[in-house]
Amino acid sequence: MVEISRGYRPGAIGRVTELHGIYYSKHWGFTSFFEAKVAGGLAAFMDRYDELRDGFWTAALGDRVEGSIAIDSIHAEQEGVHLRWFILSDALRGKGIGKQLINAALDFCRSKNYKRIYLWTFEGLHSARYLYEATGFKLVEQHRGSQWGKAVNEQKFELQLE
């Protein structure tokens, strides 16, 4: 049975980084640059994590983290809150767990009266895009870029909460 929980879980930083590194290397040819960027960003987020303003959820099978999502509030006032580190292992894909994670993050944002949520992704992640659009996110910006260490069509999605 999958357990979704909020907050830090021992091993989560490493495991979420591992999930990103393996998936994006296998499917998109991303390198250690990307995995290091995930590791550094996630570690910095967890170091400043404020349970009252930020959210971090994991989906686990037993003691093993198999998915995650985060809401980073560091730029909440200027840009909105940032949805980050949304990933599922092959063991959980297609089982509705991604929808549960997104709903947990959105429920948290509504409870905190956040008005805007944004995320950065790239063209070609069809399952994730479907989930984003199904929950109300809209594509607001698109350009060629390499913030992940490889040239892709970067996309910014936003959701306005009122």
The answer as to whether 43 is a domain residue is: yes
Of 39, 68, 38, 72, whose CA–CA distance to 55 is shortest?
A: 72
For residue 82, the enclosing domain spans 2-114
CATH number at residue 7: 3.40.630.30
pLDDT band at 8 (very low <50, low <70, confident <90, very high): very high
The answer as to whether 129 is a domain residue is: no
Judged against a pLDDT cut of 80, whether residue 148 lies above it is answered with no
Instruction: Tell me what the pLDDT averaged over the chain comes to.
Output: 94
pLDDT band at 121 (very low <50, low <70, confident <90, very high): very high
pLDDT band at 162 (very low <50, low <70, confident <90, very high): confident
Instruction: Render 18-75 in DSSP notation, one character per residue.
Output: HHHHHHHHHHH---HHHHHHHHHHHHHHHHH--TTT-EEEEEEETTEEEEEEEEE-TT
- Distance separating alpha carbons of residues 142 and 118, to the nearest angstrom: 13
What predicted TM-score, i.e. pTM, was given to this entire model?
0.93
Judged against a pLDDT cut of 90, whether residue 147 lies above it is answered with no
Judged against a pLDDT cut of 90, whether residue 20 lies above it is answered with yes
The answer as to whether 126 is a domain residue is: no
Structure tokens at 73: 């509030």
pLDDT value at position 52? Answer: 96
Give me the number of domains the chain comprises: 1
The answer as to whether 151 is a domain residue is: no
The answer as to whether 55 is a domain residue is: yes
The answer as to whether 150 is a domain residue is: no
The answer as to whether 83 is a domain residue is: yes
- Distance separating alpha carbons of residues 70 and 157, to the nearest angstrom: 15
Distances (CA, A) of 14 to 20, 35, 65, 153: 10, 10, 10, 27
Judged against a pLDDT cut of 90, whether residue 91 lies above it is answered with no
pLDDT value at position 85? Answer: 97
